[in-house]
Structure 1
């Protein structure tokens, strides 16, 4: 359900459960966390996160969420691991981004989306807290008021609104999505590893 394509200095991690809208189980989250750890050791230039089908991820698998996954610390482990990666990370969002799946996308450096994507994080309605790091990362991208629109008012936004707010950086046709993500990795591939690491550290402050 998680596919990792190791292609030289640019790896692609794909959520591959399209029949379930790429809903995430604990096993899948552990695989993502471990893949990110492997990528860090490999000294990559870039890691791309994407999905198969028309939904990037609907968030937690319903049965797993009822069994406790909704409040499991593994979500924060995944996003923290991705956020710490010392190279470019790109979320190539092939469709809707919802719920707990926000964490890994917010932890990436850049986010691309297809035109029909929508974005919602219904924790208030479901009676759960968001992942600990998500509200601050979301507010840093789109501002506190708009973060409240998503997290507190439970609003759903489309790709054009997400672009205008700064939640995504580009809207890209579906057929060109991964190619566009790989094109963004060309400069990091050409740079020495210490330059990649240092520039990312400088941006973090």
Structure 2
């Protein structure tokens, strides 16, 4: 479900279920976390995240039903994935060529650098599935304007690559034809002084503003309780 390749000090993680729009099932989330951990274990200086197909990802598979897996456990995987990506000691670069909704927009935000093509679009569409994305509500204002963050989660509105850059969801917008070329140039740049880069990354991770473990756990508990009560109006 994920293709992992190590080339020198560059690890590449490719979402590889294009037939489902790279929907994140529980298994794909587990594979994603394992690949992030493998990149750290391999001491990769750069981590590239890309996807096969015309869709980066439609986000989590909201139709998946796992009766033997508590909702809190599934939600906890999102926190693990976000923490592993944000905590990667090297530079993570997401290459987004197509829609990246829900968890895909989260990948864009938690990566060190995100390149998007004109075909990309972003948004947190959980509300369209009658879900309250409280984990997103907790972390999104760390990255973008709190008022815009609230609008996005309340409406599920999709934004273009250009608007996503203006909001701070992505770093740069490039053409599909030059995406890999731009990525190669970035890799060369950030690999020049790996010690300095790791020092910067370590310091950035310690900056205030990102939700605490306690606040993230409250998001899981509140959402799970609401769902377990039948999602009352």
TM-score (norm. length: structure 2): 0.79
Partner of 2:14: helix, strand, or coil? Answer: strand
User: Out of 170, 190, 201, which is 2:192 matched to?
Assistant: 190
Contact 2:62 2:129 in 1 (8 A): no
Instruction: State the shift of 1:42 in Å.
Output: 1.6
Match of 1:165 in 2: 167
Aligned length: 202
Q: Distance in 1 between matches of 2:66 and 2:158?
A: 26
Q: How far off its partner does 1:102 sit?
A: 2.6
- For the residue of structure 2 that corresponds to 1:160, the secondary structure is helix
1:104 shift after superposition: 2.5
Structure 2 contact 40–88 (Cα < 8 Å) conserved: yes
Three-state SS of the structure 1 residue aligned to 2:56 is strand
Q: Distance in 2 between matches of 1:86 and 1:166?
A: 22
Counterpart CA distance in 2 for 1:199 and 1:38 is: 22
Unaligned runs of 5+ in 2: 208-233
Give, in whole Å, the separation in 2 of the partners of 1:42 and 1:131: 33
**1:109: Cα distance to partner?**
1.0
Aligned mates of 1:113, 1:147 — CA distance in 2: 19
1:94 and 2:97 are equivalent in the alignment = yes
Structure with higher RCO (Cα < 8 A, 6+ apart): 1
CA displacement 1:105-132 (0-9 Å, x = unmatched): 2211111111021112122232323262
- Determine if contact 1:55/1:95 at 8 Å carries over to the other structure: yes
Counterpart residue number, 1:67: 66
Show the counterpart of 2:218.
none
Which residue of the other structure, out of 120, 123, 127, is the alignment partner of 1:120? 123
In the alignment, which of 140, 143, 153 is matched to residue 141 of structure 1? 143
- Among residues 129, 132, 137, which one is paired with 1:129 in the alignment? 132
Give 5+ residue unaligned stretches, structure 1: none
Residue number among 179, 182, 195 corresponding to 1:180 in the alignment: 182
What's the CA shift for 1:47? Answer: 0.3
Q: Is the 8 A contact 1:118 1:159 kept in 2?
A: yes
Q: Distance in 1 between matches of 2:128 and 2:62?
A: 15
1:82 aligned partner: 85
- Tell me the TM-score normalized by structure 1: 0.89
